[in-house]
């Protein structure tokens, strides 16, 4: 499978994503600079995490990044796109995913391992995951997912919630919600199930040397779904 990984200035997670997809999982990766005018022929596009443009409001990105329209057109034509953490934020800013990401509650940077639980098994990210909690790193300052009630109800009704924050036993509780996300939401997809965004970093839990490969369940599920 061939991935296009978009690299923005300040994307500290780009090489984590490239390493996992290419070295750990054995897929072809094309590194695409944000000012490039078009993608190579790829099967899926990945927007990595890591404070693009110094974590300025992501509405600043589109005017200076030539690829934004290409990403939107790729997704709207049915192409598969996923964004992790800051990449999730960019997908929201582009209008490809609903809702918004706000400052954490409490308002501090969070960096730790966090359990998440798959919500809908019929998506690319969750098809092979099952319903056991996964221990996935988080690293963010603006990761609190929010949507107004009408949008939130639509997301829930359409099965667009991918993961919810939980504890080690899979219990979805206030104490297990690290950033105050509404409905404990850690990731969502669009209605057509081809655009995906999540705050936790599965690519940082994919190498056996780290003694945690829970993230591989998510990424391998995505590959199987797209390849079917």
Q: Is the pLDDT confidence value at 60 over 60?
A: no
How many CA atoms lie within 13 Å of 42's alpha carbon, on the beta-carbon side?
25
Local confidence band at 126 (pLDDT 50, 70, 90 cut-offs): very high
**From 34, 70, 85, 166, active-site residue:** 85
What's the rounded mean pLDDT across residues 37-42?
85
8 A C-beta contact, residue 64 and residue 95: no
**Is 85 one of the catalytic residues?**
yes
Q: What is the pLDDT of residue 11?
A: 78
What's the rounded mean pLDDT across residues 13-30?
96
**Is 34 one of the catalytic residues?**
no
**From 93, 140, 189, 201, active-site residue:** 201
What's the rounded mean pLDDT across residues 155-163?
98
Q: Is domain 2-227 given the CATH code 3.40.50.880 in the classification? A: yes
Local confidence band at 9 (pLDDT 50, 70, 90 cut-offs): confident
Q: What is the pLDDT of residue 145?
A: 98
Q: Is the pLDDT confidence value at 62 over 70?
A: no
- Using only C-alpha atoms, the chain has a radius of gyration, in whole angstroms, of 16
Local confidence band at 61 (pLDDT 50, 70, 90 cut-offs): low
**Is 103 one of the catalytic residues?**
no
Domain boundaries, the chain: 2-227
Residue with tokens 């798959």: 118
Q: What is the pLDDT of residue 166?
A: 98
Q: What is the pLDDT of residue 26?
A: 98
* CA proximity to 85, closest of 107, 60, 63, 58: 58
| 140 alpha-carbon distance from chain centroid | 12
Name the pTM for this structure. 0.95
% the chain with pLDDT above 70: 94
Q: Is the pLDDT confidence value at 15 over 70?
A: yes
Q: What is the pLDDT of residue 178?
A: 98
């Amino acid at each position: 499978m061939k991935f296009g990984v978009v690299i923005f200035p300040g994307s500290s997670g780009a090489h984590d994503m490239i390493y996992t997809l290419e070295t750990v999982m054995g897929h072809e990766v094309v590194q695409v600079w944000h000012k490039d005018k078009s993608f190579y022929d790829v099967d899926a596009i990945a927007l990595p995490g890591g404070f693009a443009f110094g974590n300025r409001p992501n509405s600043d990105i589109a005017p200076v990044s030539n690829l934004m329209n290409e990403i939107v057109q790729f997704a709207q034509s049915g192409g598969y796109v996923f964004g992790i953490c800051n990449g999730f934020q960019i997908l929201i800013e582009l209008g490809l995913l609903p809702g918004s990401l706000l400052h954490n509650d409490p308002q501090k940077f969070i960096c730790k391992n966090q359990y998440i639980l798959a919500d809908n098994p019929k998506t690319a990210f969750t098809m092979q995951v099952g319903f056991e909690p996964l221990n996935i790193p988080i690293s963010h300052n603006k990761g609190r997912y929010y949507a107004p009630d009408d949008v939130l109800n639509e997301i829930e009704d359409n099965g667009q919630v991918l993961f919810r924050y939980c504890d080690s036993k899979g219990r979805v509780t206030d104490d297990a919600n690290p950033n105050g996300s509404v409905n404990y939401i850690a990731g969502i997809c669009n209605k057509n199930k081809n655009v995906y965004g999540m705050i936790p970093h599965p690519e940082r839990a994919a190498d056996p040397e780290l003694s945690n490969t829970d993230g591989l369940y998510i990424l391998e599920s995505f590959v199987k779904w797209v390849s079917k």
